[in-house]
Amino acid sequence: MDKATILVVDDTPGNIDILVGILSNDYKIKVAIDGPKALALAQKNAPDLILLDVMMPGMNGYEVCERLKTDPLTCHIPVIFVTALAETADETQGFALGAVDYITKPVSAPVVQARVKTHLALYDQKRLLEQEVKARTKELEETRFEIIRRLGRAAEYKDNETGLHVIRMSHYARLLAIQSGLPDKYCELIYNAAPMHDIGKIGTPDSILKKPEKLDEREWKEMQCHAEIGAEIIGEHKDPLLKMAKRIALSHHEKWDGSGYPNGIAGTDIPIEGRIVAIADVFDALTSIRPYKKAWTVADTMALIESESGKHFDPELVEHFKQILAEVTQIRDEHHET
């Protein structure tokens, strides 16, 4: 098992030598003779624990500790002050800044060894617990995402025999978000929210969804209701994923020129996730077999999408979609209907 690394920070070489002598048999030791060097070492390769002097020229130990605790790269490192300052107020200030312990000089070897051992053990337990929490959180997120995907597929089964539509179009939406320069977290969010886009179809009669002929005016109005039904099914929730899923369900049939439904909003008033899913959804719908039509070719589908740029679709997103067409086609082939 690798030895833990201790960073000793003190402006007096003799004090450093004492601590190195006490700890070097059991730990890897790094040293710094001032605050800036200590911060640089901690940021470059975080130690497992820091023994920090308080009274140093320039940047004192309290300032170093404060900097460590406000930096995401170093805030987790346990800090023990080692100082000749022994007043209660000094200790209180150290603990207020985030230190885990306070050792007064002149140091006792058994005390230093015991305190270091204790706080390293506590730190190890904390890291183990954080890893377990992260693993469990990831498991719960994966379960939640899978439930959402399956709910999306449940809606698609009403008018798509295999339900692969939601898988393909969510991949397309993620690729388009990436190509559009959106943050990684957003791209993953849209990938997991997009399958819910047509959840409102659960409330649409099969006689309308599966009708091979053109819908009459009443039937078309009822079909359009699935956007609002979907938003109602998802409901209000503080979770970012469900918030996005609701916006997508409500807005993915809106059009850039304002002629879409259910609210007739236009341009950038349409949430960007709705504009992204609109392209992904139409591309997959046209290139897939349906009870009422054959699958279009990719070329014919892209010709239509380009002709609708600035009318149905966000023109900038259409250009981005053209740039990822090879990847989109590959996903389509990997998840084709059987």
**Average pLDDT over every residue of 299-304:** 97
CATH number of the domain bearing residue 322: 1.10.3210.10
Query: What is the tens place of the pLDDT at every residue in 80-108?
Result: 999 888 788 888 888 899 999 999 899 99
Residue 185 lies inside a defined structural domain of this protein: yes
Can you give the pLDDT at residue 189? 92
Structure token digits, residue 75: 């805030």
Interatomic CA distance for residues 146 and 265, integer angstroms: 31
Same domain, 185 and 317: yes
Question: Cβ distance 305 to 313 under 8 Å?
Answer: yes
Judgement on whether residues 92 and 200 belong to the same structural domain of the protein: no
Q: What is the mean pLDDT of residues 288-316?
A: 91
CA dist., res. 53 & res. 55, Å (int)? 6
Secondary structure string (H, E, C) spanning 16-31: HHHHHHHHCCCCEEEE
Residues 18 and 80 placed together within one structural domain of the fold: yes
Residue 22 has pLDDT above 70, yes or no: yes
| Residues 124 and 194 occupy one common structural domain | no
pLDDT at position 158 is: 63
93 and 231 co-located in one domain: no
Give the per-residue pLDDT at 87: 80
Helix-helix angle 109-156:184-193, to 10 degrees: 40
pLDDT surpasses 90 at 134: no
Of residues 287 and 212, more confidently modeled: 287
Residue 102 has φ and ψ, to the nearest 5°, of -145, 115
Do residue 173 and residue 316 come from a single domain?
Answer: yes
pLDDT at 129: 85
User: Are 194 and 94 in the same domain?
Assistant: no
> What are 52's strand-pairing partners?
9, 81
In a domain, 145, yes or no: no
Please tell me the predicted confidence (pLDDT) of residue 214. 85
- One domain for residues 126 and 163: no
pLDDT on residue 157:
62
Average pLDDT over residues 286-314: 91
pLDDT at 221: 93
Which range among 188-192, 231-235, 248-252, 291-295 has the greatest average pLDDT? 248-252
Q: Is residue 54 part of a domain?
A: yes
Does pTM top 0.75 for this prediction? no
Say whether both 61 and 10 belong to one domain: yes
Look at 25 and 162; give whichever has higher pLDDT: 25
51: Cβ contacts below 8 Å, ≥ 6 apart: 6, 7, 8, 9, 10, 19, 80, 82, 103, 112, 116
Quote the pLDDT of residue 305: 97
Range with the lowest mean pLDDT among 69-83, 203-217, 236-250?
203-217
Q: What is the mean pLDDT of residues 262-272?
A: 97
**Inside any domain, residue 139:** no
Mean confidence (pLDDT) of the chain:
90
Burial 312-323 (b: 16+ CB within 10 A, else e): bbbeebbebbee
The reported pLDDT for the residue numbered 268 is 96
- 242, with CB counted inside 10 A (0-12, 13-18, 19+), is middle
Q: Which pLDDT score, from 0 to 100, does residue 159 have?
A: 60
Q: Please compute the mean of the pLDDT values over residues 218-243 and round it to a whole number.
A: 90
pLDDT score of 152: 66
Residue 204 and residue 106 share a domain: no
**pLDDT at residue number 154:** 66
Stretch 50-62: mean pLDDT: 93
Helix (H, G, I), strand (E, B) or coil at 296: coil
User: Residue 280 contacts by C-beta under 8 Å, 6 or more apart in sequence?
Assistant: 169, 170, 172, 173, 176, 194
Q: Higher model confidence: residue 128 or residue 118?
A: 118
Structural domain tally of the chain? Answer: 2
Residues 110 and 171 in one domain: no
162 and 204, same domain (yes or no): yes
CATH number of the domain to which 55 belongs: 3.40.50.2300
In a domain, 152, yes or no: no
Residue 143 resides in a domain: no
Q: Is the dihedral of CA 277, 283, 287, 293 positive or negative?
A: positive
Which span out of 65-79, 114-128, 260-274 was modeled with the highest average pLDDT?
260-274
Tell whether the model's pLDDT for residue 155 goes beyond 70.
no
| 108 in any annotated domain | yes
pLDDT class of 224 with cuts at 50, 70, 90: very high
Give the range of the structural domain holding residue 65, as residue numbers without chain letter: 5-131
Q: Which residue has the tokens 């001032």?
A: 34
Examine residue 151 and state whether it is found in any structural domain, yes or no: no
